[in-house]
């Protein structure tokens, strides 16, 4: 069994502002994968941002869907975390993929959370990933995990895009494994070795997250010891200490 990959939720956001290159770089340098969120601007550019508005993580305000890329790039996305991060800007998907490509140590290296299924966004995401030769390094989560229709659309846009289907509890694993549009299971519970074996025997891979696993590092460590492919954690540094 290969070693479980720790995936840093929005980067190392305990040391740098979330979803910025400053948060992603140290995670990648520590041989972690990164999770981030993608949205579309008013002029149909793909940017990395969790919230539907820029209010919480920048010095601006308003919906990302009503701002142009130039508007977005003028915002300070780091000072709220600390004055020495004042030069941080909301990154584009292109910029993050370039960073991952130059720092990649694990595979998959990205858990991609798609926020807001704006018309055309699926094709644009797949085209961007293909252009950077990163499409096989991505696990699609977020709105993807709960909708077979969304997974189908991604598979139609790119046959190599890897979708995950959700399992809220161990009894949901069979349904997730039967899903024809996913190659991953997204388990929202503390998995056991038997859960991992069940997924792997079915020819799929397992990413573990959910509120308990993401927020409680001890629960994440318990899940890690079962040997899933990826653990998505909001405390990746602490989890790495426990697993070293």
pLDDT digits (tens, 9 = 90+) for 120-148: 999 999 999 999 999 999 999 999 999 99
Q: Is the peptide bond before 108 cis (omega within 30 degrees of 0)?
A: yes
- Which of 83, 86, 77, 84 has the alpha carbon at shortest distance from 11? 77
Pairing between β-strand 33-40 and β-strand 46-48 as defined by DSSP bridges: antiparallel
SS3 labels along 207-237: EECHHHHHHCHHHHHHHHHCCCCEEEECCHH
Superfamily of domain 5-243: Phosphatidylinositol (PI) phosphodiesterase (3.20.20.190)
Task: Tell whether the torsion through CA atoms of 44, 45, 49 and 50 is positive or negative.
Answer: positive
Pairing outcome for strands 205-208 and 230-233: parallel
pLDDT at 51 over 60: yes
CA atoms within a 13 Å half-sphere pointing along the CA-CB vector of 128: 20
Q: Which of 50, 103, 132, 197 is catalytic?
A: 50
pLDDT mean over 2-13: 94
| 84 flagged as catalytic | no
A 10 A CB-CB count for 218 gives 14
Q: Which two tokens stand for residue 37?
A: 């969120």
Token pair, residue 162, equals 């890897």
Active site residue 9: yes
DSSP 124-182: HHHHHHHHTT-GGGEEEEETTTT-HHHHHHHHHH-TT-EEEEEESSGGGHHHHHH-TT-
Please tell me the distance from the alpha carbon of residue 20 to that of residue 11, in angstroms, as a whole number. 8
Domain positions in the chain: 5-243
Asked whether residue 1 carries a pLDDT value surpassing 70, the answer given is no
Q: What's the whole-number average pLDDT of the chain? A: 97
pLDDT per residue as tens digits for the range 216-241: 999 999 999 999 999 999 999 999 99
Is residue 73 helix, strand or coil? helix
End-to-end alpha-carbon separation of the chain, Å?
Answer: 17
Beta bridge partners of 42: none
pLDDT at 2: 66
């Amino acid at each position: 069994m290969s070693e479980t990959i720790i995936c840093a939720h929005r980067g190392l956001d305990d040391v740098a502002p979330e979803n910025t290159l400053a948060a992603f770089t140290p995670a990648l340098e520590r041989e972690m994968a990164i999770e981030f969120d993608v949205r579309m601007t008013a002029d149909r550019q793909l940017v990395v941002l969790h919230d539907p508005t820029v209010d919480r993580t920048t010095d601006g305000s308003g919906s990302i869907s009503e701002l142009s890329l130039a508007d977005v790039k003028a915002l300070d996305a780091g000072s709220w975390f600390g004055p020495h991060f004042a030069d941080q800007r909301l990154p584009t998907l292109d910029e993050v993929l370039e960073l991952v490509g130059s720092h990649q140590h694990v595979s998959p290296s990205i858990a991609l959370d798609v926020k807001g299924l704006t018309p055309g966004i699926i094709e644009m995401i797949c085209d961007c990933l293909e252009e950077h030769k990163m499409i096989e390094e991505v696990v699609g989560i977020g709105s993807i995990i709960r909708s077979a229709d969304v997974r189908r659309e991604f598979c139609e846009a790119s046959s190599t895009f890897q979708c995950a289907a959700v399992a809220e509890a161990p009894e949901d694993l069979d349904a997730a494994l039967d899903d024809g549009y996913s190659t991953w299971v997204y388990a929202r519970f503390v998995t056991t070795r038997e859960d991992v074996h069940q997924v792997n025997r079915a020819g799929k891979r397992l990413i573990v997250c959910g509120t308990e696993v993401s927020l409680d590092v001890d629960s994440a460590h318990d899940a890690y010891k079962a040997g899933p492919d990826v653990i998505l954690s909001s405390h990746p540094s602490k989890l790495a200490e426990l697993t070293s």
